[in-house]
Amino acid sequence: MLVTWMRRVYERIGRKTGIGYWEKRAKRYGARSVLNIGHTGEEMAALTERQKEILFPLLAGQLRGDERVIVDFGCGPGRFTPSLSELVRGSAIGVDPIQRLLDLAPCANGVEYRRVESGRIPVADGSADVIWVCLVLGTITEEDALGAAAAEIRRVLHPDGLLFVVENTARKPDLPHFRFRTVDAYLSLFPWAQLDVVGGYEDLGERISVLAGRRGS
């Protein structure tokens, strides 16, 4: 009975996160679908490298050196996943609900990709030393689904593990399939992580904020 109830809850989460929209978008745009569509396909590689140049030093500054497993939440086509495994000198698990994007992700030593089904991250409780969330949460438009995603992130993250969040915090009207949330909204979403703002940058005139903190027990 409990299993059936949980399955129904996760199915509702899947609908409310707009997975159908993102599947269609991935079919139309391919790997580029994870970008602001103001960027062309030709800009994708350069943009990814720019983001790495900005974000990876910030992430490295939060590491303690004993991390071995990093989860790339909402990895899409794996733009960052192989490099994340190198950064922690361990393994990276990219997770995403869109199989079409996972099929585009690059293979690499120490890297694997898993599909998120019914809203559940396919990673064992407390097994991730680091969880990387980059420009994903804004695509979850319903607040209850967002809360469920945050609970899943907490479940997977090791006690005292690092949560690293990169999200669009521009002050703009919401779009049908995207929510512009404030820094304070993300701080409130993860009260157990003691997040601090550790950096940020501008992309097409929109503010991208970087937050990091560790899970309390």
CATH number at residue 200: 3.40.50.150
In this predicted structure, the answer to whether residue 14 has a pLDDT above a threshold of 70 is: no
Q: Could you tell me the pLDDT band of residue 115, with boundaries at 50, 70 and 90?
A: very high
- With a cut of 80, say whether residue 207 has pLDDT above it: yes
Tell me how far apart the alpha carbons of residues 92 and 86 are, in angstroms, rounded to a whole number. 9
Do residues 163 and 213 touch, judged by C-beta distance below 8 A? Answer: yes
In a 10 Å sphere around its CB, with 0-12 CB exposed, 13-18 middle and 19+ buried, how is residue 177 labelled?
middle
C-alpha pair distances (Å), 112 with each of 98, 101, 154 = 15, 14, 21
Least confident piece of the model among 16-20, 44-48, 105-109: 16-20
Q: Which of 44-48, 73-77, 83-87, 99-103 has the lowest mean pLDDT?
A: 44-48
63 contacts: CB under 8 Å, gap ≥ 6: 87, 88, 130, 162
Dump pLDDT digits (tens) for 167-200.
999 999 999 999 999 999 999 999 999 999 999 9
Banded pLDDT at 10 (limits 50, 70, 90): very low
3 state SS of 209: strand
- At 96, the amino acid letter reads D
Work out the end-to-end distance of the chain between its first and last CA atoms, rounded to an integer number of angstroms: 30
pLDDT, residue 11, reads: 42
CB 143 within 8 A of CB 181: no
Is it the case that residue 7 has pLDDT exceeding 50?
Answer: no
pLDDT at 26: 83
Q: Which residues of 54-63 are buried (b: 16+ CB within 10 A; e: fewer)?
A: bbeebbeebb
Query: Beta 196-203 vs 69-73: how paired, if at all?
Result: unpaired
pLDDT value, residue 166: 99
**Residue 13 above 80 pLDDT?**
no
Q: Which of 61, 37, 35, 64 is nearest to 50 (CA)?
A: 35
pLDDT band at 19 (very low <50, low <70, confident <90, very high): confident
Total structural domains in the chain?
1
* Cα–Cα dist 6/183, whole Å: 30
Domain extent at residue 170: 2-214
Whether the pLDDT of residue 120 is over 70: the answer is yes
Q: What is the pLDDT of residues 23-75, one digit of tens each?
A: 888 888 767 777 776 676 678 889 999 999 999 999 999 999 999 999 999 99
The token pair at 24 is 């269609």
Query: pLDDT for 123-165, tens place per residue?
Result: 999 999 999 999 999 999 999 999 999 999 999 999 999 999 9
